[in-house]
Structure 1
Amino acid sequence: MDPLTAPYFPIIYVRGYAMTANEIADTVATPYMGFNLGSTKLRQAWDGTVRRHVFESPLVRLMKDYGYRDVYADGSEISGELPARSVVIYRYYETADTDLGDGKVLSIVEAATGLRDLIRQLRDQVCGTDAARKKAFRVYLVAHSMGGLVCRSFLQNDKISTGADRAMVDKVFTYATPHNGIEMVGFNVPAVLGLWDMNNFNRKNMAGYLGLKGTPERVDTLDGKFDPQRFFCFVGTNHRDYEAALGISRKLAGEMSDGLVKIENATVSEAPRAFAYRSHSGVYGVVNSEEGYQNLVRFLFGDMRVDGVLEVDVLPLPASVQKAKDDGKQVRASYYFEATVAPRGTNSYRLTERRRDTFSAILRGFDELLRPDNAGLAAPRSPVLFSAFLDTSKITSGNTVVFSVELTVSTTGYTIDNKLWLDKHVEGEYLFRDTVVVRATRSGDGWNVRYVLADEQSSEGLGTLAESRPEGYLIPLSSQKGFKGRLRLTVQRPVPAGG
């Protein structure tokens, strides 16, 4: 048997929702159910410009980069011993095909039960009768769209899985999963809409198959059944390129979505997440994207995690707005925070990007940031800009991890005595804008973190040593307009694989 060593555990891919009988038939007729689909097109700019970029597919790249293999031989799945580095496609739609099954579409609970059985079977195929290997066995679940709900039903529903079953799952990665349901024109899919099983995305029904108690307003919690730090959510922000249902879906889902799933519904509470200008599926979809793959492998195999939070001290007002405030008029404002993170050595992808252009920027009110008592908060609601997983084995030069954070702060506009301030407003003006280049070198049990503000200095410079505090590494930020704050970075090892 091949070694069963972290972090290279078997991967099970759970595909998403197939609506019609024809879509189900097409799905069942393919061996990899979409995990083998790549793309040669990359959106280069928000104006729709396209350039050629070959992404071979997650399956092929896992084979080429990490030595994984599929589990097919001689026209069927291998029933005997399997290597640890195997990619297994969970074919739960096969029963719904009239050629290969009985034509019955499995419910989420039935599909989740089948996933449990598949994990147990895979353990036996990888470990045989070796008790020590069985104890060390772990699996990764990688899922698209509704497949992520199948995974969560398995992990959260006590009627389906036991603690021992869940312990075999090391990490979960979801692409564009509607963790808090699907909304069309602002309304959750009705519970009575049984056509094509669309009621799977109704929050009341979701609470049932996820094992949540009562009728919660939101169902995007793992409910203590699985560590959210082992659960990653990859979120698409491009609704324009989603072509399903002749484009009707993207019109109903609207902006701030991937064409089907609203951005605010595509994550699990407290779980790390990344955002990319990708649609729910298709040529510009989340699964067949370089961005999705790079986040996937760094989350599964990486040895470094960096979280960035922006702490705000001063948000300056334009002179005329400040005068109105000094004269006793009521001034209200909210702010956009944009952040794009990219590792050194790439120009074809970003690990995450939250931008106004794609309606994925973080929005905060003035009181949330600087007067939390007025907003009913115990502390400022500082925006969490990113959670980036990195891999020191991918360092291109020396022994230092280098990545950039393009960071901007702007206002949505000001209201003075409940009237929008337009006389001197200039659209596109920023309170702060710079590219922070971070250089992190391992030093004993910790890190040596340096930074360069690259809008005014060369990114190749050694930079300035970040202040190290118990709460993280602090990088001061300011602008001539009067903005003041700091980027707080926490640098740590991810939750260990197999731990």
Structure 2
Amino acid sequence: MSQQALHPIIYVRGFAMRDAEIEDTVNTPYMGFNVGSTRIRQAPDRSFVRFIFESPLIRLMKEYGYQDVYAGGAEREGSLPRRSIVIHRYYEQDNGEGVRPSIIDAARELGNRVLWLRDRICGDDAQARQDFKVYLVAHSMGGLVCRCLLQNPEVASDQARGCVDKVFTYGTPHNGIEMGGFNVPRFLGLWDISNFNRDNIAKTLALTQRNGRVDHLDGRFPAERFMSLVGTNHRDYNLARFAVGDMSDGLVKIENAYVQGGPRVYCHLSHSGHFGMVNSEEGYQNLTRFLFGNTRVTGKLVLDELPMPPSVDKAYRAGDTVEGSYLFECTVTPRMHPPIALSDRRTEQGSAIFRRFDDMFHPAREGLEHARHPVLFSVFLDTAKIQSGRTMVFVIDLAVRSTEFKVDGHWFLDRRIPDENLYRERLVIQATRNGDEWTLRYVPSDERWGESRGRELGRDAQGAFVPLSSAKGFAARLYLEFAPWH
């Protein structure tokens, strides 16, 4: 990891709904970024061991040498170190009449904060000021504040926007919030909930809706440098989960929690609370690899054969109309202790990738220009975290299954085995860097020990791939793209 990659971090907190929550927020030094969590894991002797996650703030201090900007109960005077963490305390910015700051107000002050931080770190050094960069890390509505800074040209100067190098958001409603299946109305002014109406978001961010969506950057910031953590655990959030429903983090729907074209990961975490994403090891590991890592790995599955159960296939060959779709589950875990999944997409969590047969094999029937083969993951890794030798190791737990089938419009359940996998395997990927090239090997660890040497990946015009097949007739290629990241 290059020391030049350790830019200052500005943390932007999320939405505080009630006045009491705002009061708690402004009376908290780090506005939640210092809150940790405890998890229980079972040891080999059947005892239970507590694993303590100290908080993102403390871990960044311990592992990367970051410092907060406070001293003696106030912000430090004089120059600041480059590895500084600043909390954007926008809820303290009222007009003396108790009026809540708008997203635009908060974004304008964020732009001022960026330039303030540049001045405190760089002083009069012209080259340092020119090279200055900052990371923005935001929870929930804080991500919309960051987007407002980057996308609304009336909010801040080009100078302030140009200082932003990367943005990481936890559970941000990039495409608004839905309650009872509907986007919250724009006229719902109570507690500023109308902030999450799509028309209001479009106005605040100065963008045009695309197909009714506002989760895009409009080309005003590189999407590849804007990462979203998507939560899939709605059960451990507060009462709002009953209005929002499943396939969400309890407040934000999965489909609304990321920016189009940007990297995203899925973790079984709730919007906030004891099982929330900000105070999680999963969130921290993704954050630090995105900010400081040096490798981006993308996995794309290209399907060659997707068999149907024999009874369904028999009906299809007899001329009956068959309807069915497919679910792709994928969990990616680097070798570390304790094991932490960077991305976890599962059917029971509502986050598995859904595809119709025609999406992949007959795209023209769906009005598509190209086949929609599923991109299973895009994660960031760091060769500095290699624990042994020069080889980076991670595990891909992959499963492919079908939904229930309909034959001639009726559910086909007579002989169908529910939740039957077409394919399932835990693949150990071993990646050794040799200059600008990677030597890639894989081990199907359901068959062999994962620490064995493995087999080399195949290669064709599309890149390096792991060949996948099952005795049921499933066949596919898992393409792995390793790209430098900085």
> TM-score range with shorter-chain normalisation?
over 0.9
Q: Matches of 1:36 and 1:102 in 2, distance apart?
A: 30
Pairing 1:135–2:127 present = no
C-alpha contact 1:95 1:103 (8 A) present in aligned 2: no
Moved more, 5-14 or 31-40: 5-14
Partner of 1:47: none
Shift of 1:371: 1.2
Moved more, 373-382 or 274-283: 373-382
Partner of 2:467: 476
Pairing 1:291–2:248 present = no
Runs of 4+ in 1 over 6 A off after TM superposition: none
* 1:196-345 correspondence to structure 2 within 5 Å: 196-213=191-208, 217-243=212-238, 247=239, 249-345=240-336
C-alpha contact 2:328 2:399 (8 A) present in aligned 1: yes
Q: Which amino acid aligns with 1:382?
A: H
Q: Matches of 1:459 and 1:187 in 2, distance apart?
A: 47
Q: Which amino acid aligns with 1:405?
A: I
C-alpha contact 1:42 1:284 (8 A) present in aligned 2: no
Local SS of the residue matching 1:18: coil
* 1:66-77 correspondence to structure 2 within 5 Å: 66-77=64-75
Moved more, 313-322 or 156-165: 156-165
Shift of 1:51: 7.3
Partner of 2:57: 59
Unaligned ranges ≥5, structure 2: 43-47
Q: Matches of 1:321 and 1:216 in 2, distance apart?
A: 36
Q: Matches of 1:60 and 1:6 in 2, distance apart?
A: 21
Shift of 1:423: 0.5
Shift of 1:131: 0.3
Shift of 1:53: 2.4
Partner of 1:22: 20
C-alpha contact 2:112 2:160 (8 A) present in aligned 1: no
Local SS of the residue matching 1:204: helix
Partner of 1:167: 162
Q: Which amino acid aligns with 1:234?
A: L
Aligned length: 480
Match of 1:108 among 96, 99, 103: 103
Q: Deviations over 1:94-145 (max 9, x none)?
A: 135x9xx542211111110000000000000000000010011000000000
Q: Matches of 1:153 and 1:181 in 2, distance apart?
A: 14
Q: Matches of 1:478 and 1:192 in 2, distance apart?
A: 54
Partner of 1:36: 34
C-alpha contact 2:402 2:419 (8 A) present in aligned 1: no
Match of 1:187 among 179, 182, 185: 182
Pairing 1:421–2:412 present = yes
C-alpha contact 1:41 1:284 (8 A) present in aligned 2: no
Partner of 2:395: 404
Q: Matches of 2:267 and 2:40 in 1, distance apart?
A: 12
Shift of 1:80: 2.0
Q: Deviations over 1:317-375 (max 9, x none)?
A: 11111111111111111000000000013344210100011110000000001111211
Q: Alpha carbon RMSD of aligned pairs, Å?
A: 1.6
TM-score by length of 2: 0.96
Pairing 1:119–2:114 present = yes
Shift of 1:32: 0.1
Question: Per the alignment, do residues 233 and 51 of structure 1 end up closer, same or farther by CA in structure 2, a change over 3 Å counting?
Answer: farther
Q: Matches of 2:114 and 2:283 in 1, distance apart?
A: 24
C-alpha contact 1:207 1:215 (8 A) present in aligned 2: no
Shift of 1:467: 2.0
Local SS of the residue matching 2:138: strand
Question: Per the alignment, do residues 43 and 185 of structure 1 end up closer, same or farther by CA in structure 2, a change over 3 Å counting?
Answer: farther
Q: Matches of 2:362 and 2:30 in 1, distance apart?
A: 52
Q: Deviations over 1:391-412 (max 9, x none)?
A: 0010011100000000000011
Q: Matches of 2:356 and 2:166 in 1, distance apart?
A: 35
Partner of 2:484: 493
Match of 1:372 among 351, 363, 367: 363
